[in-house]
Structure 1
Amino acid sequence: MKTTLADFTAAHDSDRPILLTGGAVVTMDPSIPDLDAGDVLLVGPQIIAIGADLRSDPGHGAAAASALVVDTRGAIVGPGFVDTHRHAWEAQLRRSIPDVSDLGEYVMSTLAGVAPNYAP
């Protein structure tokens, strides 16, 4: 069964542990190596643990066993990284609007004209 956003939000809001498992973990922490496939254990807004297999870890196994499991295989997990602003969807538009010469024209062309037609 896939984990839904509603499941994730409910677990987060109730401080139920959340286990992100199977993804490539990029820690950016010299004391914790990157993992080709690993686990990240969250409780509320806190990262509790990062490791290769937290369900079998003596210190975190119980919390991991009771956690909502999110399968992150095939994804990159960046614990602590907050993506607050992104323009990746606009890469497709590069060079398609060469007549835009200022921010106002850009906003009207891209954000008012093209963006409403995009969907996840």
Structure 2
Amino acid sequence: MNSDFTFPLALCKAQYGIWLHSLEMFETIGSRILQDGIALTRAETDAVMRAEDWRALAMAPMHAFRRSDTDGVSHTPPVAIEATPSRRAVVNDALRTLHGALAAAPSARRLQAGRKAATTRGKA
């Protein structure tokens, strides 16, 4: 296979690998956040049941879904808050990287053209 064709395939494979690892990381983070939220809600519910405050127990589901950040605890990781770049910006960045790599690498066509010119000059 020609290296001019396999390089974009390798770049796409690497990009998809990065996306898959990122997806796995986000799933793991989301799972941990959910588990922490469940443990916190369960602990609060157990505390309310032990205190036999039935009014607070009845309000527990509402408080679980409508938590305020007055405690200073954020339920989303700071990494997830960052704005994601637009699809156009990502594609343009990938194309710039690809064009830069292709411009830096000597292509097989340029080498063959140089050889043909040298053999033509040698015959003349």
Give TM class, smaller chain: under 0.3
Which structure's CA Rg is the greater one?
A: 2
The structure in which a higher percent of residues are helix is 2
Which fold has the larger relative contact order, with Cα–Cα distance below 8 Å and residues 6 or more apart in sequence? Answer: 2
Normalized against structure 1, the TM-score is what?
Answer: 0.23
The structure in which a higher percent of residues are strand is 1
Normalized against structure 2, the TM-score is what?
Answer: 0.23
